[in-house]
Amino acid sequence: MGECLRGKKIVKSLRSLRLLGERLRIYSTERRFKVMDRYVCTVCGYVYDPAEGDPEGGIKPGTKFEELPDDWTCPVCGAEKDQFEKE
Ligand SMILES: [Zn+2]
């Protein structure tokens, strides 16, 4: 009897560990997407991808759209930042 109960307890805690891991995985995936929003130029369709930045415009990879300088413009058509929409 005692053995059996202990076994059940172990199974139960293993299951909750797995659930916790799953929840953490989902959380970090959501966070990554939230931090790295891509923006689309509504004029020409160029996509600003923060993971890539804009090397030609002197923007380092990993720069969020919100962190781009105010005078940054679309490298393709020259549209201003307010012409961009979140993808
Ligand atoms: Zn553009």
DSSP secondary structure of 22-44: HHHHHHHHHHHHHHT--EEETTT
Give the span between the Cα atoms of 46 and 38, in whole angstroms.
10
C-alpha 73 – ligand 1 centre gap (Å): 8
pLDDT at 11: 82
pLDDT at 14: 82
C-alpha 1 – ligand 1 centre gap (Å): 71
pLDDT at 19: 84
Taking only the tens of pLDDT, the chain with its 87 residues reads 556 777 788 788 888 888 888 877 766 665 555 568 999 999 999 999 999 999 999 999 999 999 999 999 999 999 999 999 999
pLDDT at 20: 84
C-alpha 58 – ligand 1 centre gap (Å): 17
C-alpha 69 – ligand 1 centre gap (Å): 16
